[in-house]
Amino acid sequence: MSPIEHIKRRVLAAGPGGEPCARWVEPDGAEVAVVARGDAVDLYFGREDIQSASLTPGTAFRLAWFLLWRWGVCATWCGLRLRLWHWALRGRA
């Protein structure tokens, strides 16, 4: 069984009561799958060779906090920072 097929089976086969999971394909062709089972979160990513990582709930929460708050809100201002920069450049031209 290929690594991609293994991910498809693991992600699409939900246990009793279901499980939170997400799967998508990036524009460059890389597949990403996130599966949460019990006390762990499994992250799969790659093209032909699939890399996997298992995260504890605390690590997953810290990663989400970084992505949403520190990078999304503080660093990029939810996309507003770039729009303000473009607006400021047009105003000076």
In this structure, are 40 and 3 located in the same domain?
yes
In this structure, are 46 and 65 located in the same domain?
no
In this structure, are 37 and 24 located in the same domain?
yes
What is the model's pTM? 0.56
In this structure, are 41 and 62 located in the same domain?
no
Per-residue confidence (pLDDT) for residue 9, from 0 to 100: 63
Listed as ranges, residues in the chain with pLDDT below 50 are 15-18, 93
Per-residue confidence (pLDDT) for residue 76, from 0 to 100: 83
Residue 78 phi/psi, 5-degree rounding, is 55, 35
Give the residue numbers spanning the domain of 18.
1-55
Per-residue confidence (pLDDT) for residue 15, from 0 to 100: 46
Per-residue confidence (pLDDT) for residue 16, from 0 to 100: 42
In this structure, are 82 and 66 located in the same domain?
yes
Per-residue confidence (pLDDT) for residue 73, from 0 to 100: 87
